[in-house]
Chains A and B, each alone.
Chain A
Amino acid sequence: MAVNGKAPMIAVRGLKKRIGAQEILRGVDISVGTGETLVIIGRSGGGKSVLLKNLIGLMQPNEGEIWIDGQNIIGLSERQLAGIRRKVGILFQAGALFDSMTVEENIAFPLREAGERDAHVIEQKIGEILEVIELDGQQKKMPVNLSGGMKKRVGLARAIINRPSCILYDEPTAGLDPVVSDSINRLIRRLQERFHVTSVVVTHDMKSAFHIGDHIAYLHEGRIYFYGTPEEIQASTDPLIQDFLIGRATLAD
C-alpha cells in the first residue's frame, strides 16, 4: 500500500493482538508515507493506544507484520529494538515524564543517553526546543509541579530532541482545555512543517484530527473501518462514520 507514491515509513499488515481473552486488534492493515500525518480515530478502549505501542515494540502482537523504515520489527529483542526506537519518538498520554528529574533533565535525557557530554551543546539544544514548545523559563521545575498541558509539551520536547524521523502521539489533546489543545495542534503542525517528520496521532478529538491529519483512519472493532482524507471522511455517508462524527460534535469532551 504505497501512499501518495512515496515509500511508506510505517507499514502494518494483518496485525492481531489479544490481551487476556479479549481480542483488541483483529487484523489491522495500515501504512504511513514518509513525512505524512496519519490520524487514527475510534471509540475509547478500541485499541488505538495498543496499536501505537505495538508500532514501537512496547507490546508484541500475536500475529502480523510491522515494518518501520523498511525493517520488520516483529520478533526483535528489547536490545535489537533500540535502533528503531532512536528513529521513532513517542508522546505518551500522560507525558510519562521521569518524576525524579527536572524538566531540563527530562528533555536532556535522550541527548545524554545518546552520548552527548558537552554541557554547552545540551543547554543550547534545550533552549531551542523550549522555544518550540513555548515553555521557556520552566527548566528547573519538577514534573509534579506542571499542569497536564505542560507535561505533554515537555514529553513532546523529550520525544523530539534527538530529531526522530517519526513521532507517535497518544491522545495529545485529551483532557486539555480548548486553548491548550489548539496550541498542541499547532505544535504538531509546526513539527511537520519544520522537521518533515512522519506522524501517527491517536485521538478522539475530531477538531484536532481535521486540523493535523493528511489521512484519517477509523479503527472500529479491531480493524481499520475507514481510511481517507479529512474531506473524504466528512463527505462519507456511512452511518457508522456519521454517528462517530456527530457523536463527537454533540458530546463535548
Chain B
Amino acid sequence: MFVRFFTAMGAVVVSFFIYLGEVVVLAGESLRSAVTHRMRWRLFMRQMVDIGLLSQLVVVITGGFTGAVFAAQTYFQFNKLGVASGVGAVVSAALFRELGPVLTGLMVTGRVGAAMSAEIGTMKVTEQIDALRALAVHPVDYLVVPRMLAMMVSMPLLVAECIFFGLIASYFVSVHILDISGPYYVANMVRWTLLRDIVMGLTKGFCFALLIVFISCHKGLTSREGAVGVGRATTEAVVNSSLAILIFNFFLTMFLNVIFPAGWQ
C-alpha cells in the first residue's frame, strides 16, 4: 500500500523533472540556434505583428482598469488616514514592480501562448512538422526562434504600455473622480518611482516572455492524438505558463529586490 503510494508519487516527481528537462533543452536549442543560424526576418516580423502589435488592446485595457481600480481602493483606505495624495506613489510602485509585468504576462499567455501551442500542435498532428524536418529545416529554427525573438522584444514594450495606461487611468480616477490634488498626486508618484522600479518591471516582462514561449512551443511540439491532443496541449500550455509566471515571479522578486531594492534607502 505504502510502496504503491510512494511509487506513484515518485513517478509524478520523475515525470515533472523530465518535463522540466525537455523545456530547458528546448530553450537551450532555441538560444543556440538564434545565435548560430541565419535570421528569418519575414517570420520574425509576422510574429511581431501577431504577438506585439495585436496584443496591445488587451494589454491597454488590462493596465487601464487595473490602475483605475487600484487607485480607487488605495484611496478608500488612504483617505481615512488623510494621506490621499500618496495614492499615486503606491499605484505606481505596484504597477511597475508587480501588477504590470504579471498581468501582462498572464494576458499574453492567454492570447499568444495559447495560439502558439495550438498552431504548432496542429502542424505536428497534420505531419507539417515532419514535412519541415523532411525538407531539412529544423522545427526549432523555423517555428520557435522567430517566436522567441518576437516575444523578447514585445514583452518589455507591452509591459511598459500596460503600466503607462495604468498610470494614466489611476491619475484620471484619482484627480477627476476622487478629487485628489493633481500636482501632489504627480509629485508623490514621481518622487517614489525610481529607475530601478522601471528596470525591475521590464526585466520581469522579459523573463516571462521566455517562460511563455518555451512552455507553449514545447506543448505544441509534443502534442499528440489529433484534435483532442491539440486541445489538451493548448490548455496545458496556458495553465503551465500562468503558474510558471506566478511561481517564478515570487523568486524573481526576491532576487531582483537584492539588486533593485524597493523605495529610498
Chain A residues within CB distance 8 Å of chain B: 53, 56-58, 78-79, 81-83, 85-86, 88-90, 92-94, 96-99, 109-110, 113, 155, 158-159
Say yes or no: A96-B133 contact (C-beta < 8 A), given A78-B138, A79-B138: no
CB distance from A97 to the nearest CB of B (A): 8
Whether, in the assembled complex, B137 has its beta carbon less than 8 Å from a beta carbon of chain A, the answer is yes
- 5 pairs, CB–CB < 8 Å, chain A vs chain B: A83-B136, A99-B126, A113-B136, A113-B137, A159-B134
CB distance from B36 to the nearest CB of A (A): 10
Among A93, A98, A158: residue with most chain B CB under 10 A? A98
Say yes or no: A113-B135 contact (C-beta < 8 A), given A99-B126, A99-B128: yes
Chain B residues within CB distance 8 Å of chain A: 123, 126-128, 130-131, 133-138
- Nearest opposing residue in chain A for B141, CB measure: A79
- Contact partners of B128 in chain A: CB under 8 A: 96-99
Beta-carbon contact of A53 and B130 below 8 Å: yes
Beta-carbon contact of B135 and A85 below 8 Å: yes
- Contact partners of B126 in chain A: CB under 8 A: 94, 96, 99
- Contact partners of B138 in chain A: CB under 8 A: 78-79, 82
Beta-carbon contact of B136 and A86 below 8 Å: yes
- Contact partners of A113 in chain B: CB under 8 A: 135-137
- Nearest opposing residue in chain B for A162, CB measure: B135
- Contact partners of A93 in chain B: CB under 8 A: 127
Beta-carbon contact of B133 and A92 below 8 Å: no
Bound CA–CA A83/B136 (angstroms): 7
CB distance from B28 to the nearest CB of A (A): 14
Residue of A85, A94, A99 touching B134 (CB-CB under 8 A): A85
Bound CA–CA A227/B134 (angstroms): 27
- Contact partners of B130 in chain A: CB under 8 A: 53, 58, 92, 96
- Contact partners of B136 in chain A: CB under 8 A: 81-83, 85-86, 113
- Contact partners of A110 in chain B: CB under 8 A: 135
Bound CA–CA A113/B136 (angstroms): 9
CB distance from B178 to the nearest CB of A (A): 49
Beta-carbon contact of B137 and A98 below 8 Å: no
Among A89, A93, A110, A113: residue with most chain B CB under 10 A? A113
- Contact partners of A96 in chain B: CB under 8 A: 126-128, 130-131
- Nearest opposing residue in chain A for B131, CB measure: A96
Beta-carbon contact of B135 and A92 below 8 Å: no
Bound CA–CA A247/B147 (angstroms): 51
- Contact partners of A57 in chain B: CB under 8 A: 133
Bound CA–CA A92/B134 (angstroms): 10
Among B127, B128, B135: residue with most chain A CB under 10 A? B135
CB distance from A233 to the nearest CB of B (A): 29
Beta-carbon contact of B134 and A90 below 8 Å: yes
Please give me the 9 A-B residue pairs with the lowest Cβ-Cβ distance, nearest first: A96-B127, A96-B131, A82-B136, A85-B136, A90-B134, A92-B127, A86-B136, A58-B130, A110-B135
Beta-carbon contact of A92 and B137 below 8 Å: no
Bound CA–CA A56/B127 (angstroms): 14
Bound CA–CA A209/B12 (angstroms): 49
Bound CA–CA A92/B126 (angstroms): 10
Beta-carbon contact of A56 and B134 below 8 Å: yes
Bound CA–CA A90/B131 (angstroms): 8
- Nearest opposing residue in chain B for A87, CB measure: B136
- Nearest opposing residue in chain A for B46, CB measure: A100
Bound CA–CA A10/B250 (angstroms): 56
Beta-carbon contact of B131 and A94 below 8 Å: no
Beta-carbon contact of B127 and A109 below 8 Å: no
Say yes or no: A109-B135 contact (C-beta < 8 A), given A94-B127, A96-B126: yes
Other A-B pairs beyond A83-B136, A98-B123, 14, CB < 8 Å:
A58-B133, A78-B133, A81-B136, A85-B133, A85-B135, A89-B134, A90-B134, A92-B134, A96-B126, A98-B128, A109-B135, A113-B135, A155-B131, A158-B135
CB distance from A213 to the nearest CB of B (A): 23
- Contact partners of A56 in chain B: CB under 8 A: 134
CB distance from A57 to the nearest CB of B (A): 8
- Contact partners of B133 in chain A: CB under 8 A: 57-58, 78, 81, 85
Beta-carbon contact of A98 and B134 below 8 Å: no
Bound CA–CA A53/B127 (angstroms): 11
